[in-house]
Structure 1
Amino acid sequence: MRKKSARCAATVGTAVALAALSLPGTGQAAPSADRLPAGLVAAIQRDLHLTPQEYLERADAAQQVAGYASDLRRVDPGAFGGARLDLDGVPTVAVTSPEAAARVVAAGYRAEFVPSPIDAPEGTPVQPNRRSNTPMSVPRFEVASGTDPIGGDAYITTVEPIATARSFMVCSFGFTAADSAGTPLALSAGHCDPSRATAGTANAAAVYAPNRTDIPNSPRVGEFARSGIGSAGGGLDYSVIRLTPEAAAGGLGKPTVRGADGDVLTITGTAVPVAGAPVCKSGQRSGYTCGTVQAAAYTTDLFGNSGESWSVHGFTHDACTLAGDSGGAIITGTRALGITSGSTVADAAGCTQAVAAGGVLSFGIPVRDILAQVNGSSCAAGSGIAVRTAANPTGMCETPEPAPGSSNPFGSLGSTGS
């Protein structure tokens, strides 16, 4: 795990023989590319220079090697040195002995030797320098007024009644979810809550679907049920939004996210960060953009606008993220991977200029870590939550499995607060 300092304000070996690759663990092929919406396909081709099927296959291969590496680490921790997807898309496991290398190759993966085991698999370390979301009075909205919001769409929030608010925070919905009692929820970023200390109370900050032509009359779609950042969030940056029945009856009750052009993607499951894995993100500001995981385990010190700081754990990737995308969905393949927390280009004019100026670095919070933080070791009725997926559209809670290679599953329920 790496730790670096960063300024934040939110909208943020030698290879051995290679056997013929298979995807052990599921007995299933990667999903078909025909399930991907046109806007996402365009982003994959533009940013990753992959075909849609290559994108799906690499995403699936990354999850397979993560599962294999988790098993290897549990059985023989001294032999395990990390796991990643190489630049050529081949899943690779680092090991410390020839015997372990032979097992890895026999399983269908590339093996490489490293001198010693590591605490957690991760990619090349990089230095984030993010800026966080700030209140915006003239935000840029990508979703037309009157459209039922879904994951990836904009929301606005303020501690004042929207009818009289002088400014508000602009963020993005992440993944839709539900608790064990069936309460409709959505995941987003903790720094998007302007009143974290009151989350879950009668005074919690409200969440609105923006009416861009008449902001004071934006419809209320929920309020923050829980939020946290840094030590008050188990080392994460996350929020849980309790949705109104009306919002849940629309798009926010479905296992979907969409990009700025209106294309909708159905979420099929959850995933863990794997260095080198392809990812795409959806956010209200920049829509679908894609990249690869740079570091699967990364800790940074975030600094807010008022001088406060938090130590936050997550993963980094190089898909472009802009101010207002915070809280939005990060996917790998068609699985929910994480929530957008920040970016090196949060205040840039746009992704094209940012990439041309030398590249980008974005920071995400793993969705499975959020579930582990909220649910602890059980899913008691009314408390445990789950992401809505095609296989689990109601979000029926299941006790989350620790992320493969994770040495910090965050344990039991933590407190809220700023």
Structure 2
Amino acid sequence: MRRTFARQAAVIGSAAVLLLGTVATVAQAEPAPAAPATALPAELVEALQRDLQIGPDRFLIDAQRSQELARFADKAREQFESVFSGVWLDDQGTPTVGLTEGEQFDKAREAAENSGFVVQKTENSETALEGRLKELNDWLETQPPAIADLIRGVAIDVVNNDVVVRAENVAGLELPPFLDGVRVLFAPTELTPDPSPDFEYIAGLAAPDALLGGDAYAALGAGMGLRCSLGFNAEDGSGSPVNITAGHCDPNRSQAGTRWASEVYQLLGDALGQRLGTFEKTSLDNNDYGLIRPAADAAGRFENNGVRVPNAAPLPITGTADPIVGTPVCKSGLRTGYSCGVVTSAQQNVEIGERVLSNGFSTNLCALQGDSGGTLVTGTLALGISSASNVGQYSLCEVAGFVSGLLGETPELFATPINAVLAENPGLKVRTW
């Protein structure tokens, strides 16, 4: 089977393995003001310091700057196409715009600097790099499956201003001369839900009322039981509550929305609590997401805008964000709680197992089995849903980091952008109240 990844350009950063596809900006209600730094949960503040060595103020500021860059990039691609090469936050959180020499350079630099951004000169425009991706795609279409199938994704490295290839087997891949110097990185693997066939239902098991993103649930269907993490609480077009989680957490995907749909239960340890509802819609290829429709007696538990690590204080979600390279991001999940890193790619198409994740983004985060479906946030903004990891099979993130380091890699978490999910489901909106 031959795969074509280069028709949509991916945007990545230099700190990891990366790829993506264009993310549509989705109109939402005007976001509420971000929570003050002092209001961030203690567990999140601890993770920011441990993983990124930054405080909550920097986290909130960089989140805001990244979205200012996203809005600027949308305009720059139209107004300064011949010289625009991308946007990113550098290691110090400096909002940066890449520009190449050309007739529009002075006007583009003035626009960027008037917006408060730093300009960095680059050799290639975004358009030129997209042309290299097209060349690669055209070359792939001429190759036998034994060669073409080695390539699992391609991307633009926005910081290094070049192209990156994701490959199944680096040692067996020889690129054509026009791609000399292109970096080749390992392909990602599936972040599988935690299979647990021995769930025990305990009637009347006490549980807190509210259910938030990051809380544990069990999905039962097709004779299987999977352990996953809730994603963002949301409302559909009719104002009814739903939860946006990962599609690969649904063990009976073909029956989503029918009477045979997978059932969702609250998970307390290894015990099943209240039946929460069923999977109403499941998407696996292109965008990895699932919509959980709460049962009538559980609907009120989803009427909040919180994200947390299980049983801890919530982070209030105030809006949504698009992934920008360098943006600080934290994920929550039942297995590893909060972990923080940065966005290492945006607008990504990458093959994961037997499926292609489009419109995804990657981060240098550790996520393990059971974290599937959990939330990724930047500041108080919803950013994405956990989808795939290159270290999901390990028992601890410390072990994952050590082993991946020996292989010359870093832990990576791939995610589906929340705005891509909203764009595919008109009327759906993340709760911000």
Q: TM-score, normalised by structure 2?
A: 0.73
Q: Distance in 2 between matches of 1:85 and 1:214?
A: 43
Q: Distance in 1 between matches of 2:189 and 2:250?
A: 18
Q: Which deviates the most, 265-274 or 55-64? A: 55-64
How far is 1:136 from its partner? 2.3
Q: Give runs of aligned pairs for residues 347-366 of structure 1, distance below 5 A.
A: 347-357=393-403, 358=405, 359-366=410-417
Give 1 or 2 for the bigger CA radius of gyration.
Answer: 2
Q: Distance in 1 between matches of 2:94 and 2:351?
A: 33
Letter in 2 for 1:202: R
Quick check: 2:34–2:380 contact (8 Å CA) kept in 1?
no
Identity %: 36
- SS of equivalent to 2:284: strand
Q: Report the counterpart of residue 386 of structure 1 in structure 2.
A: 429
Letter in 1 for 2:298: A
Q: Report the counterpart of residue 278 of structure 1 in structure 2.
A: 328
Letter in 2 for 1:92: T
Q: Give runs of aligned pairs for residues 295-314 of structure 1, distance below 5 A.
A: 295-303=345-353, 308-314=354-360
Over the aligned positions, Cα root-mean-square deviation in angstroms equals: 2.5
Residue deviations 1:258-306, cap 9 Å, x none? 1135121110110000000000001111111100000112221121xxx
Q: Report the counterpart of residue 282 of structure 2 in structure 1.
A: 227
Residue deviations 1:64-96, cap 9 Å, x none? 111112122222322321000011110001112
How far is 1:127 from its partner? 3.8
- SS of equivalent to 2:297: helix
Runs (4+) of structure 1 moved beyond 6 Å?
none
The equivalent position to 1:131 in structure 2, one of 183, 190, 213, is 190
Letter in 1 for 2:304: K
The equivalent position to 1:103 in structure 2, one of 87, 99, 111, is 111
Q: Report the counterpart of residue 170 of structure 2 in structure 1.
A: none
Tell me whether 1:291 sits opposite 2:341 in the alignment.
Answer: yes
Quick check: 1:122–1:296 contact (8 Å CA) kept in 2?
no
How far is 1:328 from its partner? 0.5
Q: Report the counterpart of residue 35 of structure 1 in structure 2.
A: 39
How far is 1:123 from its partner? 4.4
Quick check: 1:101–1:113 contact (8 Å CA) kept in 2?
no
What is the aligned length? 340
Q: Report the counterpart of residue 196 of structure 1 in structure 2.
A: 253
Quick check: 1:205–1:223 contact (8 Å CA) kept in 2?
yes
The equivalent position to 1:146 in structure 2, one of 179, 187, 207, is 207
Q: Distance in 2 between matches of 1:151 and 1:263?
A: 12
Residue deviations 1:165-224, cap 9 Å, x none? 6x4011111100011211110001111111221111222111111244644xx3210111
Letter in 2 for 1:240: L
List gaps (5 residues or longer) in structure 2. Answer: 1-8, 13-29, 131-155, 165-184, 200-204
Q: Report the counterpart of residue 333 of structure 1 in structure 2.
A: 379
Q: Distance in 2 between matches of 1:178 and 1:261?
A: 23
Q: Report the counterpart of residue 174 of structure 1 in structure 2.
A: 231
Quick check: 2:215–2:311 contact (8 Å CA) kept in 1?
no
Residue deviations 1:230-267, cap 9 Å, x none? 1xxxx1111111112332312x2101111135121110
The equivalent position to 1:268 in structure 2, one of 310, 313, 318, is 318
Q: Which deviates the most, 363-372 or 259-268? A: 259-268
